[in-house]
Amino acid sequence: MSNLIVVDNLKTWPLHIPDVPIVTGREYLTDPQYSEQRNLKVFNLCRSYRYQSTGYYVSLLAMARGHKAFPSITTIQDMKSVSIVRIVAEDLGDVIQHDLRPVKPNRFTLSVYFGRNLAKRYDELASRLFRLFQAPLLRAEFVREDGVWKLDDVGPIAANEIPESHLDFVVEAASQFFSRSRLPRLRRAATQYDLAILYNPAAERPPSNRRALGKFAQAAKRLHMGVELIKREDFGRLAEFDALFIRETTSVNHYTYRFARRAAAEGLVVIDDPDSIAKCSNKVYIAELMARYDIPTPRTLIVHRDNRDRICDAIGLPCILKEPDSSFSQGVFRTAERAELDAAVERLLERSDLVIAQEFLPTPFDWRVCVLDHAPLFACRYYMAEGHWQIARSDGRRVEWGAVEPVPLDLVPRTVMSTALRAARLIGDGLYGVDVKQIGKKAYLMEINDNPNIDAGYDDLLLGNELYDRIMRVFLTRIQQKKNGG
């Protein structure tokens, strides 16, 4: 697998690492040769991994292209999470106290360059931190309180922040690292037999209504599983359970992602798993992934400041503009005039370095195929809200929804079902709501949702309790497989 270093600016890059090509983040994101290249390790050394920055998108699109990114999106999010940092501190407690015992000041900064530190005495601590946060250039801040050292913060080191006296060592550490075949992997613990269902009782648009949550609990009990509805403040209790079912709207930049990451790190069976959240939460990733695997979609352009003038030629008007992390029909805009388009694009690019422009395909309904474990679970027609082009219409005070019509799986058009299953398989083996538009005999992938709606009285009209039983049986099977080392 080839190595590639990605940086912000070649002119200010201070390191020369032999035999490893270096490109800018802009080149990696926009040059077709990188989207087409396979078997690539991408070492993302951009100055910032801020959400929706260039550095963020380098790691995100590396994942979509099948490249191995360091740091990955999950690592980037972990470094931002106070909760995850605290978890790591607990795991490293003994080595932190041992290695930092001789340090006199009450604050200490450890620079980790490709898993190493200049001082050999910190080799174990640096290596352990690198295994947990696989970022090439890493800074860990420690504080001593009441005689006990604590990990206070973890974050990336920008190349221009590396002291000049360290540069030769960084080149040496990087060269040795690149000569190795692979990175160390973390081991995960085994689990037991209790299910936690995460929900938010104050949510305005929860993915499951209260009746559905009750039916999930009843289905779990029928399979002799313990079940408990948990909330945000129960984060520290995750280790008590063997599985986590997230029934709160997910996002990478949200506590639900931290729950998924913590649960996965504890060895729990997790739906939605953190990889699925990271992938489905960003429409730029979905667009790149679908293009790579030739899944039919409306004409789509990933828009940045350098190509925004191409939207009309590539997509035409009217067109749809989407924020990368929009959900529930929010953050999605239809523009019919050039001036309206330019204003909307400018507004969206102020929040994200990349946005989506997509061909407008009007239809009376969207197909929703719910997929679990690579198999169809149920299907519905989601009709557009009356007099509107989306399934939901909001006036800022209340939301009007279009009708929901459950459809037997054997009556779903073959091209719709095939498109939905192919797209879901590219994400993983979790629970996905795949939205497809049908025009004539053709089907077009619109969205893949990692946290699909399952509401009692709507989505369960055909299957009834069997819908909830099927989902719980998947949890039980996966728990048993983990328990038996499968």
Q: How many Å apart are CA 278 and CA 273, to the nearest integer?
A: 9
Q: How many CA atoms lie within 13 A of 339 on its CB side?
A: 0
**Among residues of the chain, what percentage have pLDDT more than 70?**
95
pLDDT in tens, 279-308: 998 999 999 999 999 999 999 999 999 999
Residue 135 near residue 156 (C-beta atoms within 8 A): yes
**Overall average pLDDT of the 146-156 stretch:** 92
Residue for token digits 């201070």? 14
Q: Where are the beta strands (DSSP E) in 326-374?
A: 332-335, 355-359, 365-372
Contact present, 47 and 222 (Cβ < 8 Å): no
Number of H helices, E strands in the chain: 16, 22
pLDDT of 181 reads 44
The CATH fold of domain 362-473: D-amino Acid Aminotransferase; Chain A, domain 1 (3.30.470)
- Say whether pLDDT at 91 is over 80: no
- Superfamily of chain region 299-359: ATP-grasp fold, A domain (3.30.1490.20)
Listed by start position, the domains of the chain span: 2-76, 77-178, 194-274+475-483, 299-359, 362-473
When pLDDT is cut at 50, 70 and 90, the band that residue 330 belongs to is low
Residue 76 pLDDT: 86
- Rounded to an integer, the average pLDDT of 322-332 is 76
For residue 57, what is the DSSP state?
Answer: H
Determine the CATH number of domain 194-274+475-483. 3.40.50.2300
pLDDT at site 486: 57
153-176 confidence digits (pLDDT tens) = 999 998 888 999 999 999 999 988
Q: Residue 109 pLDDT more than 90?
A: yes
Helix (H) or strand (E) holding 431: strand 431-439
Give the mean pLDDT of the chain.
89
Q: What is the pLDDT of residues 195-228, one digit of tens each?
A: 999 999 999 889 999 999 999 999 999 999 999 9
What does the DSSP 8-state code read for residue 389?
S
pLDDT attached to residue 327 = 66
| Residue 163 CA from chain centroid, whole number | 33
Which residues fall within 8 angstroms of residue 343, CB to CB, at 6 or more apart? none
Residue 363 has pLDDT above 90, yes or no: yes
Distances (CA, A) of 24 to 17, 73, 224, 261: 15, 18, 54, 30
Give the tokens for residue 389: 């082009």
Handedness of CA 100, 105, 107, 109 (dihedral sign): negative
pLDDT at 343 over 70: yes
Helix H or strand E segment including 448: strand 442-449
Looking at mean pLDDT, say which of 66-70, 86-90, 242-246, 481-485 comes out highest.
242-246
How large is the average pLDDT for residues 399-425? 95
pLDDT digits over 175-192, tens only? 888 876 444 433 333 334
- Quote the pLDDT of residue 140: 94
Instruction: Label residue 119 by pLDDT band (50, 70, 90).
Output: very high
Report CA-CA distances (Å) from 264 to 134, 186, 229.
17, 12, 18
Residue that wins the pLDDT comparison between 240 and 61: 61
* pLDDT at 419 > cutoff 90: yes
pTM: 0.76
Per-residue pLDDT, averaged over 243-272, amounts to 90
